[in-house]
Amino acid sequence: MRVLIVDDQDFIRRGLRALLIEDKDIEVCGEAADGLQAIEKVQELRPDVVIMDISLPGLDGLQATREIRRTFSGTQVITLSQYEIPDVVKEARRAGAITHVPKALLWARLIPALKSLAATDSRSERVGPIRVLIADDHDVVRKGVRVILSSNNIEVCGEACNGSEAVGKALELLPDLVILDLTMPVMGGFEAAIELCRLLPRIPILFYSIYEGEALIKEAKRIGVRGFVSKNRISETLLKAVNVLVVQKGTFFPDSTEISALRG
């Protein structure tokens, strides 16, 4: 994977280069210090991925990202900023960034993000339990879901209390399934699902919520979510949903035959 680093601070570029060259599968093919230079370098070098700071002199990182994604569709962009501010994350995604990483979490998130982009679906036949990541801002709810899953030889490999944390942990842990609550702070379930579907399209996402409705299900399907479980019926439907999504590689929604059969 060929990577272009874009940051106006030389010491940041040097630090990123030092981090990336430790991985034999990543080649740092160039550097740029502003948005215009970044676009020129992409045209010249055609990298696979641009790591783009959003705070750049002249043409800023978001504007540069829009232009790169519009002109060079084969090049992905990962944006960076000093802090993880929800509005900044939203703007980065709107600009076309595949994901956004705060600089404070570079060492934890950047390499997994790059590896997930480069990965192919080369995972062998399953050995061991299904691995699930749970995202919900209520600790007691996560514990309840963990009990249901763990009692059926399903491993809860991680937990998150908001959508942004869920994306980071999914990149790190590469679970077999991500279970997302819809309403969470920092980044909600829909926003997290959009980012996960773009970044880790082979990992199915299951929504669960106290809310239901045709419009909600329609939008979940549109963005690539593979299933929905109502929290009001989670003890009846969760295990079947996990099996359908992970083992059968199907979809599981309230209007499906799977749930209809459970309702009798």
Q: Are residues 81 and 139 in the same domain?
A: no
Task: Name the 3-class secondary structure at 131.
Answer: strand
CB contact at 8 A, 29 and 47: yes
Question: Which of 91, 99, 224 has its CA nearest to residue 164?
Answer: 99
> Which residues are CB-contacts of 94 (< 8 A; sequence separation ≥ 6)?
none
Q: Are residues 134 and 259 in the same domain?
A: yes
The pLDDT mean for the chain works out to 87
Question: Which of 206, 245, 252, 241 has its CA nearest to residue 225?
Answer: 206
Give dist(CA 161, CA 180) in Å, integer: 10
Q: Are residues 189 and 222 in the same domain?
A: yes
Give dist(CA 205, CA 203) in Å, integer: 7
Give the chain's radius of gyration (CA, Å).
20
**Strand-pair partners of 147:** none
Q: Are residues 96 and 143 in the same domain?
A: no
Per cent of the chain over pLDDT 70 is 92
* Segment among 25-39, 93-107, 121-135, 244-258 with least mean pLDDT: 121-135
Where does the chain show beta strands of DSSP type E? 2-6, 27-32, 49-53, 76-81, 99-102, 130-135, 154-160, 177-181, 205-209, 227-230
Summarize pLDDT for 84-143 with one digit per residue, the tens: 778 888 888 889 888 888 888 888 888 888 877 765 333 444 456 899 999 999 999 999
Q: Are residues 6 and 71 in the same domain?
A: yes
Number of Cβ within a 10 Å radius of residue 212: 14
CB contact at 8 A, 61 and 53: yes
Q: Are residues 104 and 227 in the same domain?
A: no
Residue 125 within a domain = no
Summarize pLDDT for 49-74 with one digit per residue, the tens: 999 999 999 999 999 999 999 888 78
Q: Are residues 134 and 258 in the same domain?
A: yes
Q: Note the pTM of the prediction, 2 decimals.
A: 0.56
Question: Residue 165: its pLDDT value, please?
Answer: 94
Question: Residue 255: its pLDDT value, please?
Answer: 56
Give dist(CA 174, CA 112) in Å, integer: 9
Query: How many structural domains comprise the chain?
Result: 2
Question: Residue 261: its pLDDT value, please?
Answer: 34
Q: Are residues 98 and 141 in the same domain?
A: no
Domain of residue 142 covers 130-263
**Starting at the edge strand that comes first in sequence, how are the strands of the sheet with 2-6 ordered?**
27-32, 2-6, 49-53, 76-81, 99-102
Per cent of the chain over pLDDT 90 is 56
Residue 233 within a domain = yes
**Strand-pair partners of 232:** none
Write down the residue that tokens 């007691």 correspond to.
140
Question: Which of 192, 174, 194, 172 has its CA nearest to residue 183?
Answer: 192
Measured CA distances, 221 to 39, 61, 73 (Å): 35, 31, 25
